Amino acid sequence: MKRPTLQASRRPRTGDAILWLATGLATLLVLAVLAIILFDVIRNGTQKLTLGFLTKAPAEGMTAGGIFPAIIGTVELVILMTLAALPAGVATAIYLHEYADPMGIPTRIVRIAVNNLAGVPSIVFGLFGLGFFVQFAGGGIDKLFYGGAKVYGQPALIWAALTMAVLTLPVVIVATEEALSAVPRDVRLASAALGATKFQTIVRVVLPQAVPGILTGAILAISRGAGEVAPILFTGAAYFLPSLPHTFHDQFMQLGYHVYVLATQSPDVDATRPLLYATVLVLLALTFALNASAIVVRSRMRRRFSGAHS
């Protein structure tokens, strides 16, 4: 019988080669698409991207001026949305993961609901927001407090933010639940053995360890919120506003919607095109910046007690 050799076989391993090629090409494709988008947007977007563009309102029927109100509107929308979605999502995830009976019927129903919520098209959320928030909730508030005058019962910043919050809720819930599952059982037991109540264990041990994961959920929610347009179409976004939103019940301009407006409603397409590119560039930069800052926060938190000596 021939002894097996330790020499590398001269025959190439075809399986490996094919898989290497296929996975490599797929990766390249992803990179190429991103590169093309970025290249196109940056090349065409930078020429109009001046300080004035960032700090002025649109002028002359969207063929001149800047996008300042849309930037402010987007930031306000995202902040309000996060303030609404994060507590509700985190609380839901804590309930599902820490308190609810995992096999119980109610838990399963909530889980199915969350999964289905994630699958609802965003335009449906827009209609839901119009029906539920604007007309039902807003109209109700008007009837109760404003004697039927239209104050809250019309598309507004607050309703758009809440609609967006509902849309991003599943992302936050799923990410938080994953973060909670990743906290080792060991430390929960250690906490219990020291006489901690379940509440103390959750607040002092589980949540601090889950924060990086929860922030991941927030990142995903924010980048979705900054880019989505459909949910705010009927719930608060405005085509053009002469002034910035001052209250929760004002309408607002938003970058994504502004891109749509510039692309479809301009009286002079050629004059608008450079502005459109610059707006897209700002939208991309804003989303990237939001993501990057959250990633920095997350990695700092991870490093803090990762075992490395600081």
Partner 1 sequence: MNMQVAQETAEAATGSLSVGKLAVFYGDKKAMGPVDMEIPGRKVTALIGPSGCGKSTFLRSLNRMNEMITGCRVEGDVKLDAEPIYGPGVDAVAVRRRIGMVFQKSNPFPKSIYENVAYGLRIGGVNDRSELSGRVEQALEHAALWDEVKDRLHESALGLSGGQQQRLCIARALAVEPEVILMDEPASALDPIATARIEELIHELARDYTVVIVTHNMQQAARVSHHTAFFYMGDLIEFDRTDVIFTKPRQQKTEDYITGRFG
Give residues in contact with partner 1 (CB under 8 A).
184, 186-197, 200, 204-205, 208-209, 304-310
Given the complex with partner 1, which of 59 and 194 has the nearer CB atom?
Answer: 194
Token couple for 176: 């938080």
The terminus-to-terminus CA distance of the chain in angstroms comes to 59
Nearest to partner 1 of 43, 303 (CB atom): 303
Main-chain dihedrals φ then ψ at residue 64, nearest 5 degrees: -150, 180
Residue (44 or 200) nearer to partner 1, CB? 200
| Sequence-distant (≥ 6) Cβ neighbours of residue 185 within 8 angstroms | none
Considering only CA atoms, which of 137, 220, 214 is closest in space to residue 181?
214
CB-wise, 123 or 211, nearer to partner 1? 211
Nearer to partner 1, 147 or 307 (CB): 307
Shortest CB 182 distance to partner 1, Å: 12
State in angstroms the smallest separation of the CB of 105 from partner 1.
17
Neighbours of 104 (CB within 10 A): 10
Dist CA 23 CA 199 (whole Å): 46
Cα 101–115–113 angle (5° rounding)?
65
In whole angstroms, how close is the CB of 247 to partner 1 at the nearest point? 41
Shortest distance (Å) from residue 187 CB to partner 1: 6
| Shortest Å, Cβ 197 to partner 1 | 5
CB of residue 140 to partner 1, shortest distance in Å:
43
- Is the C-alpha dihedral spanning 69, 74, 77, 82 positive or negative? negative
Please report how close the Cβ of residue 276 comes to partner 1 at its closest, in angstroms.
Answer: 48
CB atoms within 10 A of CB 88: 15
Radius of gyration (C-alpha) of the chain in whole angstroms:
25
| Measured distance CA(300)–CA(208) in Å, rounded | 13
CA distance 89 to 225: 15
Closer Cβ to partner 1, 98 or 123, answer by number: 98
**How many angstroms separate the CA atoms of 90 and 203, rounded?**
12
Kindly tell me which of 82 and 191 has the beta carbon lying closer to partner 1: 191
